[in-house]
């Protein structure tokens, strides 16, 4: 039998059992769609985490207040604001810290900003001129906080581009933060949205102003951001910062340090490991559903062989060779899975299109998982189609004819 006739025969038989064919196809369809969608979501969140962390700079170190120790009992991390402005000036000493490029203390809180045309709630950070460097940001309009502003507790504020447009204010306008008037001296250049939160929705004021007028706790610093002079000096910058802080905090045993220094690369690799694990987990679940779909195909094909035993017997009597029947059943299984695979890709792509718009979850579809899912689906169909096809090919014509 020519291949064209075999395909024609296989397709006719699939069309003859429409409902069954559709149900079998659904199994594969959902498997493939699930693989594509979950890998897409995993990929997107991994990309977003990576992009967000790298946008902070790979030469960034973050020092957070560590645990307090009182009477031998460790408090939790961040249980005390152990960092002070004294630490900041210590770290800024070029002599003892030659590998540290910039230092920015941060004290942060949420506050409602009110302008003449509206109000908007956002994160307000108190910091210094070093904030711009450590966060790898640039000013789009106006200027950033300078040392003089910090020294004089100037009531000045720099806004993210989103915040600025939401409040309808620009450089030179006034905004009220907790009823205190601030002059907008600059608007940051947009950094773009990166999945989790918006880098352009924020406000920065001089740290001294923040401490005294907004969040209280004079001298307290939640964390200190450090930029190493280059990604390659991050190791020595780390050691220098560690040394200086141990000294200023009068700690002799490094294991009792009341601060923690984390590098961005550490955070990055941890975050990547986490998202990767999640992606693998999701993809495995999806792969299992694909496998289940494949077993469904085998199931249906076996039912089909059993149900069509007398047809197979007849075809054999009329001259179908074992090869003819084997090919017919493999083609039937292959067609079902290929069809399911293609529809699955369409569904997966549709999910990739709809989900980000409906649920604000980013989905990144790359060709590799799509191709892999389709290839796996077809392979699953062929592999699981082979056994029923062999059964069909091996049926003895006489017994097959007798089955009614």
Partner 1 sequence: MEVEEAARFAEVAVASTELIRLESVTKVYGSGDASVVALRSFSLNVAAGESVAVMGPSGSGKSTLMNILGCLDIPSSGRYWFGGEDVSRLNETELARIRNRRIGFVFQQFQLLPRLSAWRNVELPLLYRNVHDRRALALQALEQVGLSNRIDHRPSQLSGGQQQRVAIARALVTDPDLILADEPTGNLDTASSRDVLAVLRELNEQGRTIIVITHDPEVAPVARRTVHMRDGRLIDEVAA
Which residues sit at the interface with partner 1, rule CB under 8 A? 1-2, 5, 9, 12, 16, 310-311, 313-324, 396-398, 401, 404
Specify the residue, 313 or 344, whose C-beta has the smaller distance to partner 1. Answer: 313
- How far does Cα 256 stand from its chain's mean position? 35
Specify the residue, 76 or 319, whose C-beta has the smaller distance to partner 1. Answer: 319
Rg (CA), the chain: 33
Q: How far is the CB of 312 from partner 1 (least distance, A)?
A: 11
> Which run of H or of E encompasses 235?
helix 234-248
- How far does Cα 305 stand from its chain's mean position? 46
Distance CA 324, CA 2 (A): 9
Q: How far is the CB of 381 from partner 1 (least distance, A)?
A: 23
Distance CA 325, CA 336 (A): 17
Q: How far is the CB of 296 from partner 1 (least distance, A)?
A: 23
Distance CA 150, CA 169 (A): 23
Residue 242 CB neighbours (<10 A): 16
Please state, in angstroms and as integers, the Cα–Cα distance from residue 222 to each residue in 35, 126, 249, 277, following that order: 42, 10, 16, 31
Specify the residue, 256 or 317, whose C-beta has the smaller distance to partner 1. Answer: 317
Q: How far is the CB of 323 from partner 1 (least distance, A)?
A: 7
Specify the residue, 16 or 98, whose C-beta has the smaller distance to partner 1. Answer: 16
Closest to 346 (Cα-Cα) out of 381, 370, 378, 363: 370
Specify the residue, 17 or 153, whose C-beta has the smaller distance to partner 1. Answer: 17
Specify the residue, 192 or 323, whose C-beta has the smaller distance to partner 1. Answer: 323
Specify the residue, 2 or 255, whose C-beta has the smaller distance to partner 1. Answer: 2
Q: How far is the CB of 15 from partner 1 (least distance, A)?
A: 9
Q: How far is the CB of 393 from partner 1 (least distance, A)?
A: 9
Specify the residue, 200 or 324, whose C-beta has the smaller distance to partner 1. Answer: 324
**Please, are residues 205 and 113 in contact by the beta-carbon 8 Å criterion?**
no
Cβ-count burial 285-316 (b if 16+ within 10 Å, e if not)? ebbebbeebbebbbebbbebbeebbebbbebb
Q: How far is the CB of 319 from partner 1 (least distance, A)?
A: 2
* Cross-strand bridge partners of residue 104: 225
Specify the residue, 286 or 300, whose C-beta has the smaller distance to partner 1. Answer: 300
Please state, in angstroms and as integers, the Cα–Cα distance from residue 3 to each residue in 288, 320, 325, 327, following that order: 33, 13, 11, 8
Distance CA 403, CA 309 (A): 7
Strand boundaries in 15-99, DSSP class E = 60-65, 69-70, 73-74, 83-84
Q: How far is the CB of 307 from partner 1 (least distance, A)?
A: 12
Q: If DSSP codes are grouped into helix, strand and coil, which group holds residue 272?
A: helix
What DSSP designation does 201 have? S
Q: How far is the CB of 320 from partner 1 (least distance, A)?
A: 5
**Please, are residues 194 and 22 in contact by the beta-carbon 8 Å criterion?**
no
Specify the residue, 149 or 324, whose C-beta has the smaller distance to partner 1. Answer: 324
Closest to 26 (Cα-Cα) out of 385, 369, 376, 293: 293
Q: How far is the CB of 318 from partner 1 (least distance, A)?
A: 4
How, if at all, do strands 119-127 and 174-177 pair?
A: unpaired
């Amino acid at each position: 039998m020519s291949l064209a006739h075999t395909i024609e025969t296989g397709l006719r038989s699939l069309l003859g059992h429409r409902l069954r064919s559709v149900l079998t196809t659904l199994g594969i369809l959902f498997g493939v769609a699930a693989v594509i969608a979950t890998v897409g979501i995993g990929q997107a969140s991994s990309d977003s985490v990576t992009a967000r962390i790298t946008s902070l700079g790979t030469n960034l170190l973050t020092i957070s207040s560590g645990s307090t120790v009182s009477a031998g009992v460790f408090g939790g991390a961040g249980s005390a604001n152990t960092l002070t402005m004294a630490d900041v000036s210590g770290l800024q000493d070029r002599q003892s810290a030659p590998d540290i490029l910039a230092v920015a203390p941060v004290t942060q809180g949420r506050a409602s900003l009110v302008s003449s045309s509206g109000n908007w709630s956002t994160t307000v950070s108190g910091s210094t001129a070093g904030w711009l460097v450590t966060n790898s940001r640039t000013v789009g309009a106006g200027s950033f906080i300078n040392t003089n502003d910090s020294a004089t507790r100037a009531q000045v504020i720099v806004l993210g581009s989103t915040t600025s447009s939401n409040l309808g204010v620009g450089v030179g306008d006034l905004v009220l933060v907790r009823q205190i008037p601030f002059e907008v001296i600059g608007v940051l250049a947009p950094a773009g949205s990166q999945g989790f939160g918006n880098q352009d929705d924020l406000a920065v004021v001089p740290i001294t102003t923040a401490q005294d007028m907004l969040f209280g706790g004079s001298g307290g610093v939640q964390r200190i951001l450090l930029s190493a002079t280059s990604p390659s000096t991050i190791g020595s910058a780390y050691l220098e910062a560690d040394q200086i802080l141990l000294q200023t905090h009068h700690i002799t045993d490094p294991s009792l340090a009341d601060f923690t220094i984390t590098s961005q690369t550490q955070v990055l690799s941890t975050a990547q490991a986490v998202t990767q694990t999640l992606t693998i987990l999701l993809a495995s679940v999806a792969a299992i559903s694909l496998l289940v779909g494949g077993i469904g195909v085998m199931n249906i094909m076996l039912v089909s062989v059993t149900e069509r035993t007398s047809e197979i017997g007849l075809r054999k009597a009329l001259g179908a060779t074992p090869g003819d029947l084997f090919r017919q059943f493999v083609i039937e299984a292959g067609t079902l899975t290929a069809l399911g695979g293609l529809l699955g890709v369409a569904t997966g792509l549709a999910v990739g299109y709809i989900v980000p718009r409906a649920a604000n979850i980013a989905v990144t579809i790359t060709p590799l998982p799509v191709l892999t899912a389709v290839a796996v689906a077809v392979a699953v169909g062929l592999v699981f189609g082979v056994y029923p096809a062999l059964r069909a090919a091996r049926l003895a014509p006489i017994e097959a004819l007798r089955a009614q």
